[in-house]
């Protein structure tokens, strides 16, 4: 069961390289690592986000799915540039198929009707022009709630690989096509289930076959089970993946705000021993509108998100978030997906970023 499914079934949520210098091309003069509070601890900014053309659980996305479905090519392009202006270097596409339809023109399944004929081409072209790197999803080719089946069913694997080949042929020429994201996520219990290890390694092997220079990413969850022991380190050593962006779990309430740093330190130390995958963060920006379920709403930056960033920063190379789309919007834009609280979060974050 992954976070994206975890939200609905349990009521508790979704969802490199150490950089230096000024990464904020859209924000001249930004001093990297501001807000140290005199303690010498650099709070890393958010350098990437998940992105979606449609959300996979309608109970969570009432305030943005309708808008996203109507976005034109020009609006998608504007939204990509907006995210770049907020400091996003990486975007992770959540899915290329949903509900038995593709989100791009495909020979494999009918295409979902959206306001843009080929949103994948549009966002990659925009990313080419503004310098964003994309991780492209290789799911969901089936019922998103059947997480185990999505990983082990040979027929689903067959169509998944066919789609990856099709996507590579259509879009891998884009300089923004950085790598792949394998979205059938698993939780630590406290180790990766062997079925997920097999799924990840098969996907990586195929990805490298069709796109040899790709950088591949996964985003596991339930970090409170993390262990730095020989068993977990051995799993990391055998996992053919470049980046693991662990979900911090604060939005879904299975990680206490005060404890996320402790768990990321355990994971960091395990990664240091394994010397294999880089460790990033998948930080949750949301809370649930109805306590433990319902629409995803933007959390308060000063009261919560800045603390999440401070907790995570010492242990990861990059902080990605789940997610800009639907939870952040630049004031004055006519390309809005989300509530007015999304503008409040944007203003709070950019105010901190520019200090």
Q: Is the pLDDT of residue 36 over 90?
A: no
Q: How many Cα atoms sit within 13 Å of 185 on the Cβ side?
A: 28
pLDDT bracket for residue 79 (50, 70, 90): very high
Given this model, what pLDDT does residue 24 score?
A: 30
What number does CATH give the domain 3-16+31-353?
Answer: 3.20.20.80
Residue 127 and residue 57: Cα distance in Å, rounded? 26
Given this model, what pLDDT does residue 344 score?
A: 98
Choice among 29-43, 78-92, 177-191, 270-284 with the minimum mean pLDDT: 29-43
Q: What mean pLDDT, rounded, does the chain reach?
A: 90
Please name which of 46, 47, 64 lies closest in space to residue 55, comparing C-alpha atoms.
64
More confident residue, 143 or 4: 143
Q: Is the pLDDT of residue 351 over 90?
A: yes
Three-state SS sequence of the chain? CCHHHHHHHHCCCCCCCCCCCCCCCCCCCCCCCCCCCCCCCCCCCEEEEEECCCCCCHHHCCCCHHHHHHCCHHHHHHHHHHHHHCCCCEEEECCCEECCEECCCCCCCCECCCCCCCHHHHHHHHHHHHCCEEEEECCCCCCCCCHHHHHHCHHHHHHHHHHHHHHHHHHCCCCCEEEEECCCCCECCCCCCHHHHHHHHHHHHHHHHHCCCCCCEECCECHHHCCCCHHHHHHHHHCCCCEEEEECCCCCCCCCHHHHHHHHHHHHHHHHHHCCCEEEEEEECEEECCCCCCCEEECCHHHHHHHHHHHHHHHCCCEEEECCCECCCCCCCCCCCECHHHHHHHHHHHHHHCC
pLDDT bracket for residue 57 (50, 70, 90): confident
Q: Is the pLDDT of residue 192 over 80?
A: yes
Given this model, what pLDDT does residue 186 score?
A: 85
Which H or E element spans position 74?
helix 73-85
Given this model, what pLDDT does residue 270 score?
A: 98
Average pLDDT of the residues in 71-78? 98
Q: In 10 A of CB 156, how many CB atoms?
A: 19
Q: Is the pLDDT of residue 89 over 70?
A: yes
Q: How many Cα atoms sit within 13 Å of 25 on the Cβ side?
A: 11
pLDDT bracket for residue 292 (50, 70, 90): confident
Average pLDDT of the residues in 96-115? 97
Structure tokens, 1 = 């069961």
Q: Is the pLDDT of residue 137 over 80?
A: yes
Given this model, what pLDDT does residue 276 score?
A: 94
Q: Is the pLDDT of residue 285 over 60?
A: yes
Average pLDDT of the residues in 237-250? 98
Q: What digits encode the pLDDT tens for the residues 316-346? A: 999 999 999 999 999 999 899 999 999 999 9
Q: Is 351 exposed, middle or buried (0-12, 13-18, 19+ CB in 10 A)?
A: exposed
| Tally of residues, the chain | 355
Residue 142 and residue 155: Cα distance in Å, rounded? 10
Given this model, what pLDDT does residue 14 score?
A: 35
Given this model, what pLDDT does residue 11 score?
A: 33
Structure tokens, 329 = 């919007």
More confident residue, 218 or 187: 218
Q: What digits encode the pLDDT tens for the residues 197-214? A: 999 999 999 999 999 999
Q: Is the pLDDT of residue 4 over 80?
A: no
Three-state DSSP state, 36:
coil
More confident residue, 267 or 6: 267
Sign, CA dihedral 85-91-94-100, equals: positive
Given this model, what pLDDT does residue 295 score?
A: 96
More confident residue, 190 or 8: 190
pLDDT bracket for residue 33 (50, 70, 90): very low
Given this model, what pLDDT does residue 291 score?
A: 86
Q: Is the pLDDT of residue 216 over 60?
A: yes
Q: What percent of the chain has pLDDT over 90?
A: 85
Given this model, what pLDDT does residue 272 score?
A: 98
Indicate the domain borders of the chain. Answer: 3-16+31-353
Given this model, what pLDDT does residue 58 score?
A: 86
- Per the listing, tokens 């990680």 go with 255
pTM of the model: 0.90
Strands 319-322 and 46-51, by their bridges, are parallel
């Amino acid at each position: 069961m992954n976070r994206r499914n975890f939200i609905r079934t349990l009521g508790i949520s979704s969802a490199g390289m150490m950089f230096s210098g000024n990464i904020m091309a859209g924000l001249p003069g930004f001093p990297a690592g501001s807000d140290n509070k005199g303690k010498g601890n650099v709070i890393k900014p958010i350098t990437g986000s998940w992105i979606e053309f449609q959300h996979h659980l309608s109970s969570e996305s009432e305030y943005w799915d309708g808008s996203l479905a109507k976005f034109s090519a020009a609006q998608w392009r504007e939204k990509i540039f907006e995210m770049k202006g907020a400091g996003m270097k990486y975007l992770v596409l959540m899915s290329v198929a949903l509900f038995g339809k593709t989100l791009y023109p495909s020979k494999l399944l009918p295409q979902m009707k959206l306001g843009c004929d080929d949103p994948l081409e549009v966002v990659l072209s925009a990313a080419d022009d503004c310098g964003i790197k994309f991780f492209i999803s290789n799911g969901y080719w089936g019922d998103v709630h059947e997480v185990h089946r999505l990983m082990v069913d040979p027929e689903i694997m067959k169509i998944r690989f066919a789609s990856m080949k099709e996507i590579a042929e259509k879009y891998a020429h884009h300089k923004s096509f950085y790598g792949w994201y394998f979205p059938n996520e698993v939780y630590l219990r406290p180790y990766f289930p062997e079925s997920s290890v097999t799924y990840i390694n098969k996907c990586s092997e195929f990805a490298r076959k069709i796109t040899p220079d790709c950088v591949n990413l996964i985003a596991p969850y339930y970090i409170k089970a993390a262990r730095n022991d020989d068993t977990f380190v051995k799993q990391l050593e055998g996992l053919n993946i470049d980046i693991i962006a662990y979900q911090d779990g604060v939005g879904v309430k299975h990680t206490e705000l005060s404890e996320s740093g402790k768990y990321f330190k355990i994971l960091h130390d395990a990664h240091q021993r394994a010397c294999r995958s880089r460790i990033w963060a998948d930080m949750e920006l949301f809370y649930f509108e109805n306590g433990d379920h319902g629409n995803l709403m933007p959390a308060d930056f000063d009261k919560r998100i800045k603390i999440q960033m401070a907790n995570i920063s010492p242990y990861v190379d990059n902080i990605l978030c789940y997610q800009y789309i639907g939870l952040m919007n630049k004031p004055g834009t006519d390309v809005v997906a989300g509530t007015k609280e999304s503008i409040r979060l944007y203003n709070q974050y950019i105010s901190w970023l520019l200090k």
